[in-house]
Amino acid sequence: MPGEDSAGPAFAGPCSGVTIEPGQDAQSVVNAHPAGTTFCFAAGLHRIGQTIRPKANQTIASDDRAVLTGSVPLTSWTRSGAVWVTRGALPPAYGKAGQCEDNTANICSLREQLFLDGKHLTRVASQSAVEAGTFYADYAADAIYLGSDPAGRSVEMAKTATAIESNQPGVTVRGLTVEHFASAAQAGALVSGPGWTVRANEVRWNKSVGLMLVNADDARIERNLVHHNGQLGLGQYSSANANVTRNVISHNNTDGFWIADWESGGMKSTRSSGTVSGNLIQANLGVGLWADVADDGRLISGNRIVGNAADGIRFEISRNGTIEHNTITGNGFGTGRGSGTSLWDGGGINVNTSSNVTVRGNTVIGNVNGIAIQSRTRGDGPWGRYLLRDVHVTGNTVGMTGGTQATGMVQNSGAEVPAGELVFSGNRYQLDRLAAQRFGRFGAKLTAEGWRAAGHDTAGSFLAG
């Protein structure tokens, strides 16, 4: 395990309370005990057929890293030509949701994911496309087609939507492994309520969002490992003063949601506030950390944000944000639908049509762009028109030495920015050449000298080589 001062899961601590053994109906056990009870899941695999809904101040825990799974075994397979088929496991057909990277097949949100010997299989859009390592689910015929011989192997299908969810306050969830839940797009396998502590869990290989906060004011999300979930690692909605600290959020969006501009990747929050600090957010197929749609009072501090396919940090149509002392490297190099290299496409840090935002003391090196500031026409929010106003970018180290990397600002028609509302001051730039046009100002490409002449970073420093 990582050291106590690093991001990632820690030992959850001993559990003393009502034991839940594999094979028991966990929700029935919870129902039979009062608020404040501690439940200890024994080591092993626990199949969760209905969502566990804890009462106020209960603890759901394990000191043996018990596995809660939402999957069911599929055992009745018949050979059919070059594939194998089983019937009777699927629910009735349902509508699709979300936006997929492949918007023609448009299958990313279908929930019944398959695992062969624990390995995530790739869903394809037709029976004819099935090959080794893939499957096709025909909901109308209630048939699943598998491209790998299941004989002597474990085949499981994600079925239960959610492992743990409740609106009761003060719940603690710790020390669990939560996997293979068939949550809908934008919904979570583990859903925190108000005042919850979610600590030292591993949340992996769930269909959509791994760990979700919904109306979860004052929640504490600490030292979890959240990885390989189908859409997003961690989501936060309508949750004030929630702290997300020292988690590892990595390799999420395994099921093909739109990388460049939909809710996929590491973490996304909307209509929320709180602190995101000390996390490692790495190698997600989407935005690393995204505050969007009326976040108000967000502190993003001291995170390592590395190798995500879209922006490292995106702060969009929100206000009162501080982005400080983060290390942001290698982000934004996705090549899928809508990805690009201009300042319109973002960068290590992207501030989009937001107000009262401070970006300070960050290290932003080797991203598709450095710091991109965007002013767009975005309509109205809860406090009036979304506008780019009062943005200060100061004391950052920004490396731009290859490709089309740039730092600067863009605006579209009708979203002009008054003088003095956007300030770059005291930043340190590492450039390949001082004569390189690594800066952009509302469509004009500028060298370091031109950037200064335009009034930016007149006390900053520009180093070449």
Residue 39 belongs to a domain? no
| Contact of 73 with 155, CB cutoff 8 Å | yes
Residue 403 belongs to a domain? yes
Residue 301 belongs to a domain? yes
Structure tokens at 26: 């966990």
What's the pTM value of the predicted model, to 2 decimals? Answer: 0.96
Last residue of one domain, picked from the residues 123, 158, 193: 158
Residue 56 belongs to a domain? no
pLDDT class of 1 with cuts at 50, 70, 90: very low
Residue 81 and residue 228 in one domain: no
CA distance 180 to 94: 19
Q: What is the 3-state secondary structure (H, E, C) of the chain?
A: CCCCCCCCCCCCCCCCCEEECCCCCHHHHHHCCCCCCEEEECCCEEECCCCECCCCCCEEECCCCCEEECEEECCCCEEECCEEEEECCCCCCCCCCCCECCCCCCCCCCCCCEEECCEECEECCCHHHCCCCEEEEECCCCEEEECCCCCCCCEEEECCCCCEECCCCCCEEECCEEECCCCCCCCEEEEECCCCEEECCEEECCCCEEEEEECCCCCEEECCEEECCCCEEEEEECCCCEEEECCEEECCCCCCECCCCCCCEEEEEECCCEEEECCEEECCCCEEEEEECCCEEEEEECCEEECCCCCCEEEECCEEEEEECCEEECCCCCCCCCCCCCHHHCCCEEEECCEEEEEECCEEECCCCCEEEEECCCCEECCEECCCEEEEEECCEEEECCCCCCEEEEECCCCCCCCCCEEEECCEEEECCCCCCCEEECCEEECHHHHHHCCCCCCCEEEEC
Residue 203 and residue 274 in one domain: yes
Q: What average pLDDT score do residues 173-200 get?
A: 98
Q: Which domain covers residue 134, as residue numbers?
A: 71-158
Residue 104 and residue 174 in one domain: no
pLDDT in tens, 130-180: 999 999 999 999 999 999 999 999 999 999 999 999 999 999 999 999 999
Residue 220 and residue 198 in one domain: yes
Q: Tell me the average pLDDT of the chain.
A: 96
Amino acid 32: pLDDT: 98
Residue with more model confidence, 356 or 2: 356
pLDDT in tens, 278-321: 999 999 999 999 999 999 999 999 999 999 999 999 999 999 99
Q: Residue 440: beta bridge partners?
A: 408, 445
Q: Which of 82, 94, 86 is nearest to 130 (CA)?
A: 82
Q: What average pLDDT score do residues 45-54 get?
A: 98
The answer to whether residue 3 scores a pLDDT higher than 50 is no
Last residue of one domain, picked from the residues 158, 181, 199: 158
Residue 345 belongs to a domain? yes
pLDDT class of 2 with cuts at 50, 70, 90: very low
Report the share of the chain in percent with pLDDT over 90.
Answer: 97
The answer to whether residue 406 scores a pLDDT higher than 70 is yes
Residue 441 belongs to a domain? yes
Q: What average pLDDT score do residues 31-45 get?
A: 98
Residue 43 belongs to a domain? no
CA distances from 360 to 55, 363, 371, 463 (A): 42, 9, 11, 19
The answer to whether residue 5 scores a pLDDT higher than 70 is no
Residue 249 and residue 104 in one domain: no
Quote the number of domains for the chain. Answer: 2
CA distances from 227 to 145, 175, 348 (A): 27, 15, 21
Q: What average pLDDT score do residues 183-190 get?
A: 98
Residue 198 and residue 78 in one domain: no
Residue 357 and residue 394 in one domain: yes
Residue with tokens 């469509």: 443
Query: Can you give the CATH number for the domain in which 326 is found?
Result: 2.160.20.10
Residue 336 and residue 449 in one domain: yes
Q: What average pLDDT score do residues 111-140 get?
A: 98
> Angle 148-83-112 (CA atoms, 0-180°, nearest 5)?
70
Residue 123 and residue 169 in one domain: no
Amino acid 4: pLDDT: 42
Residue 433 and residue 304 in one domain: yes
Residue 204 and residue 237 in one domain: yes
Residue 109 and residue 190 in one domain: no
Last residue of one domain, picked from the residues 158, 186, 206: 158
> Angle 235-237-242 (CA atoms, 0-180°, nearest 5)?
80
Name the burial class of residue 155, with classes exposed (0-12), middle (13-18) and buried (19+) by CB atoms within 10 angstroms of its CB.
buried
Q: How many CB atoms lie within 10 A of CB 58?
A: 25
Residue 33 belongs to a domain? no
pLDDT class of 6 with cuts at 50, 70, 90: low
pLDDT class of 418 with cuts at 50, 70, 90: very high
What one-letter code names the amino acid at 416? E
CA distance 138 to 157: 14
pLDDT class of 343 with cuts at 50, 70, 90: very high
The answer to whether residue 341 scores a pLDDT higher than 70 is yes
